[in-house]
Amino acid sequence: MRSVNPTILLREALLYLWRATTLFFISTYLFSIPLGFFVMLLSQGGSEFSQTSTGNLPVGLFTIFVVRLPLTATFGTVFVLVSTIYALCFAVAWRINGGFIQALRGRIPQRPTSASSNLLFILPVLSSSILVLVALIQGLQETAGLPTGSIEFANPYRGLFELAYSPIFEEVMYRISPFAAYYVVNIGLTLSAKGESNAKSYLKSVYLSIAFPDRAKEVSGSPNIRTNGILRGVNRAEWALAALTSVVFGLAHYLSGSGWEIGKITSSSIAGLAFSLAYLTFGFHAPILLHWFFNYYPYIYEVAAQNYDGIFGSLEELVKLSVELVGLAAILAFSIYLVRRIVRGVFTTTGLEVKKEEHNDSAAFRRPIGPMKDLEVERLG
């Protein structure tokens, strides 16, 4: 009787576990949007709040500018609008890079650090690991005497609105608009140096660069993340801009006066850098969805549990526990991967031979399997 390699069986089991976990997370992501409509528009407290006026809403641009729109609307109207934007971002994440269904079936190799991966498929691992990493950093800082602080909402519906609005506001302000300005200037200078002055070609290049930076670089033949990896695929100007906007992003939380303390600068800066790299790798929708995960996703289940308890109370606890477990597992798996790479590098440089396992793993089995004291949900907005 043919023997079965236990390593392959383990990898198969982990792969199916990853798929099941991904389906659970995606289901709760998508369910949270209509749940938000119900809580904000149809519950008694939410309905009363949603009919009040927002006043002139702020819009942030280029990291440092905030302007007030000369328009007013009800909180309910704006909430529906921003929720629609999130739904569109999920639709984009579903379709690109082979599609979510093909990724779920294992027909396309998926790695959380690869630009060719379907973002929606790797989003649970990516978002949970960033959140847990931020929480661990905050815990270490607080142990060293650097408090993080917190924000509280007297009105949970006002809190729900702000946590829905802030990811779009802040991602446009700290990620998309600064990079858009860079691409507008850089592409203009590049085309001018080549002696090209076609307005249509310029606008097309600018649009693609703003929407999907790595795809634009791939089309133009420039070094890109998909082909060259993140270290070589992100140019020096993009690294500098990502670092600068991330530090300002962290400082803005501390200086906002909303309740965050000095320890928030570090954790928000690190999260901001992760959001910037996600934008450069996958496109405009990636940092918006990651920020949405930090802010809106856990809070909507918290508000639902406060209003209706029962199944929503259980669901809130399940979502929280799942995020913690997946995030910790992803960080542990990545740490093991790094240690193995370092050890193999040492063996190679010292001339020692490393015996490689010879078994016929499929491409699917070679994927890294990604997937807090009880962590209070980290909110960036």
SS3 letters across 297-333: HHHHHHHHHHHHCHHHHHHHHHHHHHHHHHHHHHHHH
Q: What pLDDT, on the 0 to 100 scale, is given for residue 366?
A: 40
Span 67-94, mean pLDDT?
A: 95
Q: Rounded CA gap, 151 and 99, in Å?
A: 37
Residue 193 lies in a domain: no
Residue 197 lies in a domain: no
- For the chain, give the percent of residues with pLDDT over 90: 64
What tokens does 330 get? 């992803």
Number of other residues whose CB lies within 10 A of the CB of residue 164 = 26
Looking at the structure of the chain, the number of domains it has is: 1
* Domain containing residue 267: 6-178+221-366
Q: What pLDDT, on the 0 to 100 scale, is given for residue 105?
A: 83
Q: Rounded CA gap, 335 and 320, in Å?
A: 23
Q: What pLDDT, on the 0 to 100 scale, is given for residue 164?
A: 97
Residue 151 lies in a domain: yes
Residue 373 lies in a domain: no
Lowest-pLDDT range, 15-24, 79-88, 353-362? 353-362
Task: Give per-residue pLDDT as tens, 42-54.
Answer: 998 999 999 999 9
| H-only helix segments in the chain | 6-37, 44-50, 75-95, 100-104, 119-143, 156-171, 177-193, 199-211, 213-220, 225-233, 236-255, 263-282, 285-308, 310-349
Task: Give per-residue pLDDT as tens, 277-305.
Answer: 999 999 999 999 999 999 999 999 999 99
Task: Give per-residue pLDDT as tens, 346-381.
Answer: 655 544 443 444 444 444 434 443 434 444 445 555
Return the higher-pLDDT residue of 359 and 157. 157
Span 72-99, mean pLDDT?
A: 94
Q: What pLDDT, on the 0 to 100 scale, is given for residue 177?
A: 97
C-alpha R_g of the chain: 22
Residue 95 lies in a domain: yes
* Residues with Cβ within 8 Å of residue 28, at least 6 apart in sequence: 297, 301, 315, 319
Task: Give per-residue pLDDT as tens, 241-288.
Answer: 999 999 999 999 999 888 899 999 999 999 999 999 999 999 999 999
- For the chain, give the percent of residues with pLDDT over 70: 87
Q: What pLDDT, on the 0 to 100 scale, is given for residue 268?
A: 95
What tokens does 104 get? 């779920």
Number of other residues whose CB lies within 10 A of the CB of residue 107 = 13
Residue 194 lies in a domain: no
Residue 300 lies in a domain: yes
Are the C-beta atoms of residues 96 and 112 closer than 8 Å to each other?
no
Q: What pLDDT, on the 0 to 100 scale, is given for residue 116?
A: 75
2 φ/ψ sector (left φ>0, alpha ψ -120 to 50, else beta): beta
Neighbouring C-alpha atoms within 13 Å toward the C-beta of 172: 13
DSSP-assigned states of every residue in 236-269? HHHHHHHHHHHHHHHHHHHHT-SSB-THHHHHHH
Residue 26 lies in a domain: yes
Q: What pLDDT, on the 0 to 100 scale, is given for residue 289?
A: 97
* Residues with Cβ within 8 Å of residue 236, at least 6 apart in sequence: none
- Look over the chain and give the mean of its residue pLDDT values, rounded to a whole number: 86
